[in-house]
Structure 1
Amino acid sequence: MSKVMVVLADGFEEIEALAVVDILRRAEIDTDTVALKAGLVTSARNIRIEADRLISDVKPEDYEMIVLPGGGVGAKNIGDSEAVLNIVKQYLAAPEKFVAAICATPFVLAEKGVIKDVMATCYPSMAEAFAKYCDYQLAEVVVDENLITSRGPATAAEFAFTLVELLKDEETARRLREGMLYA
């Protein structure tokens, strides 16, 4: 059975984090929210969330995927976390693991030198700068081996359904799309 961690950093984009958690859990994929620090995590629009776990308590080997929501401040905070960057590097080097990043977070990973020369997408306003590091794709979701990237809040559901397809199967994702009235 797959297990996923969704990292919540102060300033995270709510839709990109919580829509993904919701859809993965509907698919019966074991999903933990993981905070960078103790206490409540505050989103980009001041919604306070209590995460399931702390990054310091996570054993990366227990998970198959790390999901990194965006949000300008949230993505920067993720990029400033050595613990997260180490997990991302470890997972990118392991073909059986996945790294999923959306919005500003793919750009932050590229700036930090963690991803490069891969097909990927990110928030549109960062596309030109992002293209210096990666093969920028104008698509809602891009899968390049074990790296999955997406553009932003409006693509969060499609991003999550793609993760379901990768972790389970297309049929489960199709049924969820239908049941959630996602066209």
Structure 2
Amino acid sequence: MPSVLVPLAEGCEELEAVTIVDLLRRAEIEVVTAGLAEGPVRASRGTVLVPDTTLDAVKDRDFDMVVLPGGLPGARHLEEDKRVRAILERHQRLGSYMAAICAAPKVLASAGILDGRKATSYPGTLKPADFPKVELLDAPVIVDGSVVTSRGPGTAMDFALQLVELLAGRERRTQVEQALVRPA
């Protein structure tokens, strides 16, 4: 079974975090949510999320994918956390998938992971002048090799379904999507 790490930071976008975790678990993919600190995480709209564990407890574990929810100041907290940067760099060397939505693609860009790649993010988050090596597009979801980026809360379901497809295949994605009763 594929494994996914979803770091949760104070001020993350709850719609994105919960959608990612929910859809991946519906696909029977192991998801580990890890708070940057001990205890519950208050998301950007005040929703309280309870991580499975702490980042310190899983920072040395290898995952098939690392997914960063966006939101502010959550994405900024992820970007400033040295452990998150080390996890991303190690997983890049391992060839694991990395994914980020909304403001979180900036975390990948700051780590150089988006250099030479196509990517998207919440409007205005990635400025061409700041990240000239990144080809910025306005698409809802971009897959470029082992990196997946998406725009924001409104694209969270498409983003999460794309992650399911990458990790578990098109058939599993279709099963999950049909059970959600999404219009064709």
Tell me the TM-score normalized by structure 2: 0.92
Q: Is the 8 A contact 1:85 1:114 kept in 2?
A: no
Residue by residue, what CA displacement relative to the aligned partner does 1:13-38 show, whole Å, maximum 9, x if unpaired? Answer: 01110001000000010111110001
- Deviation, 1:143, is 0.9
Distance 1:177 1:126 in 2: 29
- Deviation, 1:145, is 1.1
Distance 1:47 1:109 in 2: 25
Note the residue ranges of structure 1 that are not aligned, 5 or more in a row.
Answer: none
Alignment of 1:19-34 (within 5 A): 19-34=19-34
Amino acid paired to 2:101 = I
Distance 2:146 2:91 in 1: 8
Distance 1:180 1:152 in 2: 20
Alignment of 1:33-182 (within 5 A): 33-95=33-95, 97-129=96-128, 132-182=132-182
Count of residue pairs brought into register by the alignment: 182
- Deviation, 1:166, is 0.6
RMSD in angstroms over aligned alpha carbons?
Answer: 1.6
Secondary structure, aligned partner of 2:32: strand
Secondary structure, aligned partner of 1:104: coil
- Deviation, 1:133, is 4.0
- Deviation, 1:59, is 4.7
Residue by residue, what CA displacement relative to the aligned partner does 1:59-118 show, whole Å, maximum 9, x if unpaired? Answer: 5444211110000200000001111111111112222x1111001111233235443221
Q: Percent identity?
A: 38
Distance 1:182 1:89 in 2: 36
Amino acid paired to 2:179 = G
Distance 1:103 1:160 in 2: 13
Note the residue ranges of structure 2 that are not aligned, 5 or more in a row.
Answer: none
- Deviation, 1:148, is 0.7
Tell me the TM-score normalized by structure 1: 0.93
Distance 1:59 1:85 in 2: 10
- Deviation, 1:132, is 2.7
